[in-house]
Chain A
Amino acid sequence: MRKIIHVDMDAFYASVEQRDDPSLRGRPVVVAWRGNRSVVCAASYEARKFGIRSAMPAVRAERLCPDAVFVPPDFTRYRAVSRAVREIFLRHTEHVEPLSLDEAYLDVTENLTGLPSATAVAQTIRAEIREELQLTASAGVAPNKFLAKLASDWKKPDGLFVIRPEQAQALIAPLPVGRVPGVGQVMERRLATLGLVRIGDLAVAEPDQLHRHFGRYGKRLHELAHGIDENPVSSDRARISVSAEDTFENDLPLSELEPHIRRMAARTWQAARKMDRAARTVVLKLKTSEFRILTRSITLTTAADSEQTLADRAVGLLARVELPDSVRYRLVGVGLSGFEAPSEAPLQPGLFSEQDASPED
């Protein structure tokens, strides 16, 4: 049996805004461009109390809650946070299928950290997201993608729900058919005319009848209603980053980190070589003795072509750590991300490595 987790960030864009601007915390926040035709990209839970929902016209949202704070979306920042979330997923499994910036499926039938259960993995991921990114996520654990996605919605926000195979049918039977992926308003109306209103109705419907009305999708509806979904988690871009990190026995000052960074760079390079594709972004991660996590990254114009380049770039990122000299560090990590699609090319490194690089962060 497979173990699938669906992770859904809570009110993602709005939460990022509230995290980064303390004055927004506790207030109804609507992420939307100003303008008559604009729609709500995200609404904080405070705003949702007023009935504001994603995809609602911004004008209507303003009418529902005149006191709401409207913030224009900043996708560059959301993408960066989304990447950080993905990094957390990738510590636990290579099989991550991002659906959008704020949700993803993870196949943790086998996990990389040795945690005893999928539930434990989901809890750890939620804790890491909270701790490292100061954001909350809801997670659903189930034997397949369909159920996992339903589960993540069960205890939202900041909740975890597990659907065990034997409970699945009973749990989903009372839900409206609209909760089945692919069933929109039109389909919902057509199903209603056949007397099929809840998922349980679909489960007991004649498969032939469903097939007659909906063709191949009818078969899928029937399966889903029985809690069956064989679709695999397709981590097409198999891995999006590779990294290695190490915690020291004694906390060290910044000036003593270089050899450790080089050591981690060597490990990361070994792992990256196995991926057989080129990566352009070098990431340095540090954790202070106070457990504050810093990351600095640089994206090169051409892929990092040697362990030397990776190590030099990672060490170079130390210059961008602006904490006082008195700070001690308990951990360093070196990562590579921004892998090029495998179809792009076998890696042909350049002769001249002093390529220009553009800083990020």
Chain B
Amino acid sequence: MKIQVGRNELLTALQAVVGVVERRQTLPVLANFLLEAKEDELIVTGTDLEMELIARATVQNLSPGKVTVPARKLFDICRGLPEGAEITLESGADRVTLKSGKSRFSLSALKADEFPAMGAVTGGRALVLKRTELKGLLEKTQFAMAQQDVRYYLNGLLIDGNAKRLRAVATDGHRLAFSEHVGDTGLTESVQAILPRKSVLELSRLLDNSDAEIRLVIGQGQVQIDIDVVRLTTKTIDGRFPDYERVIPEHGDKRVVADREILRKSLARTAILSNEKFRGVRLQLSEGSLKLQTHNPEHEEAEEEVEVGYAGGALEIGFNVNYLLDALGAIPGAEIVLELKNSDSSGLVYQSGDPSSKYVIMPMRL
């Protein structure tokens, strides 16, 4: 294989893919990119066996072929070269040589046929929507995904779609984030898939807020998405996602309307003196007022009072302050609604007038 390519062109492709390469691998070849020169394209593939990212760059193909090279090293070299530099990549027996101007690098290579490729997803059901729509769904929910929970199906995000709507749902078992996009999806039947946490984070990084349409193909155990010249293929989590509809509370009779930014800042300040491990904040509601209180094992205390729209009678309830902050951070609008029933039941947070995204938070007994 021998190619010539502009540094910026190559770097863009490597940048799209490098995120999947883990710093520590179970197989040596997983530390490498697969480079394949085909017609006037260089195809760069990275994988961690659960997710595969493929990017394409336009190159001058002098000799077709494929090889694998250490991913991070190639990425770091390429990034370090001056903008606009021209790069020549050539594979030898067990080496890949990179030349650019007066720089020359010889990288060790592994055989391309050792590289595990996931292949195309076939026979799946396709979902078509705008990039900005999918990105919105992910950004409004992904923070609630569990991390390394034994309930492995929570370490991801549920995509739940039918012809008329697409939902994203994430939960760590204590709080849940739900977001729905209503509109034609191109689906002819309902589909559900749990995308693994890492794939969700990569996907959300790759998406921009453009109106360009993307296709998401949901196949058996795999999901594939093409975004421009990048293709993301991920295994899905094989497990039953909890019945999320059951835990989204019916409208509670105690309804608090608050300015999102004022409440968020008050919470952020009181959070400073909450217990660092448990993060509890006490909410005391009375007519027109919401008091926030925290304290920590050092007996430091914080108290804030926020003016709110509330007429539901006195109520005291505890929450993990991070869960509230996460929810408020994911809501774009200026005004939020917090619906409560009693101190033992979950609270529901959403943007005033727009319940398309909802956040359910279990209270904490403080």
Mark A residues whose CB is within 8 Å of B.
Answer: 273, 276, 306, 345-352
Nearest Cβ in chain B — how far from A361, in angstroms?
Answer: 25
Q: Which residues of A contact B314 (CB under 8 A)?
A: none
- Give A352 to B245 CA distance when docked, in angstroms: 11
Q: Which residues of A contact B363 (CB under 8 A)?
A: 349
Q: Which residues of B contact A348 (CB under 8 A)?
A: 174, 278, 320, 362, 364-365
- Give A345 to B277 CA distance when docked, in angstroms: 9
Q: Which residues of B contact A349 (CB under 8 A)?
A: 174, 362-363, 365
Q: Which of A345, A346, A351 contacts B360 (CB 8 A)?
A: A351
| Chain B: interface residue total (CB-CB under 8 A) | 22
Q: Tell me the dominant secondary structure on chain B's binding face.
A: loop
Nearest Cβ in chain B — how far from A287, in angstroms?
Answer: 31
Query: Is the Cβ of A345 less than 8 Å from the Cβ of B278?
Result: yes
Q: Which residues of B contact A276 (CB under 8 A)?
A: 365
- Give A92 to B73 CA distance when docked, in angstroms: 71
- Give A273 to B342 CA distance when docked, in angstroms: 15
Most buried by B among A306, A349, A351: A351
Q: Which 9 A-B pairs have the closest CB atoms?
A: A347-B365, A351-B247, A352-B242, A348-B364, A350-B173, A346-B366, A349-B362, A346-B364, A346-B280
Interface residues of B in 263-291 (CB under 8 A from A): 275, 277-278, 280
Mark B residues whose CB is within 8 Å of A.
Answer: 171, 173-176, 242-243, 247, 275, 277-278, 280, 318, 320, 344, 346, 360, 362-366
Q: Which residues of B contact A306 (CB under 8 A)?
A: 344
A/B interface sample: 10 pairs, CB < 8 A: A276-B365, A306-B344, A346-B318, A347-B365, A349-B365, A350-B362, A351-B173, A351-B175, A351-B360, A352-B243
- Give A352 to B362 CA distance when docked, in angstroms: 10
Nearest Cβ in chain B — how far from A86, in angstroms?
Answer: 25
Q: Which residues of A contact B320 (CB under 8 A)?
A: 348
- Give A306 to B344 CA distance when docked, in angstroms: 8
Are A347 and B364 CB-contacts (below 8 A) given A306-B344, A352-B242?
yes
Are A351 and B318 CB-contacts (below 8 A) given A306-B344, A345-B278, A346-B280?
no
Q: Which of A273, A345, A347, A352 contacts B173 (CB 8 A)?
A: A352
Q: Which residues of B contact A350 (CB under 8 A)?
A: 173-174, 362
- Give A230 to B235 CA distance when docked, in angstroms: 66
Nearest Cβ in chain B — how far from A147, in angstroms?
Answer: 38
Known: A273-B365, A346-B275, A351-B360. 8 other contacts (CB 8 A): A276-B365, A345-B278, A346-B364, A348-B278, A348-B320, A349-B174, A349-B363, A352-B243
